[in-house]
Amino acid sequence: MFESALVNLYTNDIEAGIRFYRDLLGFVETFRTPAEGVPEHIELRLGGFTVGLGTVQAAERVHGVQAEPGRPAMVVVLWTDDVDEAFKQLVAAGVPALSPPHDAGNDNRNALLRDPDGNLVEIVSKIR
């Protein structure tokens, strides 16, 4: 019945979102509309995961949705080899930190940050 899926995040500043997910986290752009100029929707892929970014204006125009970016109803989780180093680099780049690296059980080390719209981003690595 279904063939693929992605998480779409609504954003107040799509260019800041692109810089965060593409430039800081290493996602690769796979789609954008419109193709020229500032997009109102973009899709970025990391491994087998795709995240979409859509402007709040497009959400209202296309779907009649009053989008509210940054509410902590979900979290994007990214696995890394070294959560402490990744956290250090992201914070140095100005990413807002919520919870520094800490042991979270199940041999995992986690940290929590926010993307440019305030959405939760959790980075995780196995404890070595």
pLDDT per residue as tens, the chain (128 positions): 667 778 989 999 999 999 999 999 999 999 999 999 999 999 999 999 999 999 999 988 877 878 888 776 678 989 999 999 999 999 999 999 999 999 988 899 999 999 999 998 999 999 97
Identify the CATH class of 70-128. Answer: alpha beta
CATH 3.10.180.10, the chain: domain bounds = 1-69, 70-128
Q: Rounded to an integer, what distance in angstroms lies between the CA atom of residue 57 and that of residue 64? A: 10
So what's the pLDDT on residue 5?
A: 79
So what's the pLDDT on residue 73?
A: 66
Exposure string of 105-115, with b = 16+ CB inside 10 Å and e = fewer, is eeeebbbbbbb
Two tokens, residue 115:
């993307």
Q: Rounded to an integer, what distance in angstroms lies between the CA atom of residue 23 and that of residue 71? A: 23
What CATH fold (topology level) applies to the domain 1-69? 2,3-Dihydroxybiphenyl 1,2-Dioxygenase; domain 1 (3.10.180)
So what's the pLDDT on residue 66?
A: 86
So what's the pLDDT on residue 72?
A: 66
pTM over 0.85: no
